[in-house]
Amino acid sequence: MSAQSETVGRVQVVTSHGAVEGTVAHGVERFLGVPYAAPPFGARRFAPPRPVEPWDGVRDATRHGATAPQSPYPGALGALLPTATVLGEDVLHVNVFTPADRGADLLPVVVWVHGGSLAHGSNALAGYDGTRFAQDGVVLVGVNYRLGAEGFSVLDGAPRNLGLADQLAALRWVQDEVAAFGGDPRRVTLAGQSAGGNTVSAILAHPSAPDLVARAIVQSGPLSAQPAARAGRITRAMGKDLGVPTTRAGFATVLPEALVASQDRVTAGATPLTGGPGFALVLDDDLVPRTPQDALVAGAGSTIPLLIGATTEEYRLWFVPTGLLGRFRWWHLAVARRKVGISARAVRLFRRNRPGATAGELLGALATDVLLRVPLQQVADARRSAGAETFVYEFAWRSPVQDLGAAHAVELGFVFDGLATTDSVALAGPDAPQSLATAMHGAWVAFATSGDPGWQRWDETRPVRVFDGEGDPVVLAPRDDERAALDAP
């Protein structure tokens, strides 16, 4: 099916919609911008994803496909989190990386869903290159989906969660087409980070998940969804900003780039931790009837093994580069803890465990646990009671870049074993430990291949694999006093 060569060559695969031509080099075939749904513009704007129309001849899959309408990250974050821009309307596509010499047996598949607050990111970013997964015998499929106002507006006359519907359409495409690329549709691991982890958790809770997914990985993903009234705040703010009604017809009169400009204006200064208007999954009767956390705790997805975790210092991505860390005062912490219902006893415990910590550092540690670590462990506990296989990790290696530490997204270069990419260097620096990338990437490959990442499943001892670059130990119940204090009613 392909020729082995260390120089770049061409290779073709025939899908049910038509033939695609990609490249082959270093033992890996790559097919970029392969459509899984029709372009979601024109009459298809703000509508569910539609099937791909077959094409004649051979479709070029040697270059990245169009990126969803978006803008770069603002300010200091833009230097750490890159943005790729490829113009065009055919934004619903996948990138496929597969071994060139794959033999007769079908291989495990990882379907990757990128993060970016549901408003940024794409499968064209260098950090999501799937070469190392393919070289290790795993077919990597990176998904593009609608972002921002195009994918997550709350509009009268339009379905909710269109970006999530796109991801489900991509998973159905994988079931139908991945065997042509050497992948086993019965061994699909759905993985995502940040907002991508959020949507993965929602898909894991969806009734169709067992037909589409064999395993799941959630990296630093909030397990949340919001009522339409709350999730729709950004839509209403954009409607006011643009002077158009918050209806499908009203938003359809606005060019995609004008919607992006408006969402930038109304979200200025907002972050996932400090609040403000932003895009979110919306509770609705169709795709997200309950929050992913509530659904998973109630037993949804319990037949699907899950690898789940977070970084130790998630908050530092938003607090350090922006200068917010030094601007928080103790009264900010007092107000925040009352607002979200954190007890004064829990704050005293966190402070006692971190001698010398600033108000910003304590607020960030509390936010990391409240938003991510405690909910994921609550899900792990519920899944253990249901007999479901769950493996928990924590990424603790501290990046020296701008004193980011073990911040949100620093782990990505290690998971993809791509420390030399510009994306990874921006977050982890040029001297990040290869041994840690080998360990973490190897665990992800092992989980996708066999369902076992290499340490014991979650049980009453609460085992957590801590990827710290200094032995990467399994630690039983780390910081469990803090978890229990926040988990208490």
- Show which residues are catalytic: 194, 314, 408
Spatial CA neighbour of 176 closest among 3, 35, 39, 48: 35
Long-range contacts of residues 354-363, Cβ cutoff 8 Å, at least 24 apart: 358/325, 358/326, 358/328, 359/328, 359/329, 359/330, 359/332, 359/333, 360/319, 360/324, 360/325, 360/326, 360/327, 360/328, 361/325, 362/333, 363/315, 363/328, 363/332, 363/333, 363/336
Q: In sequence order, what DSSP letters do the residues of 303-364 get, joined into one string?
A: TS-EEEEEETTTTHHHHSTTSHHHH--HHHHHHHHHHHT--HHHHHHHHHHSTT--HHHHHH
- Contact in structure between 203 and 209 (CB atoms under 8 Å): yes
Q: Please, what sign has the CA dihedral across residues 249, 250, 251, 254?
A: positive
- How far is Cα 279 from Cα 273, in angstroms, rounded to an integer? 13
- Contact in structure between 123 and 214 (CB atoms under 8 Å): no
- How far is Cα 110 from Cα 142, in angstroms, rounded to an integer? 8
The one-letter code for the residue type at 47 is: A
Which 8-state DSSP code applies to residue 400?
Answer: -
Tokens of 463: 């085992």
Reported residue count of the chain is 489
Other beta carbons within 10 Å of 72: 15
- The vertex-276 CA angle with 275 and 277, nearest 5°, equals 130
C-alpha distances (whole Å) from 202 to each of 168, 296, 298 are 10, 9, 13
- Block residue for tokens 């130790």: 312
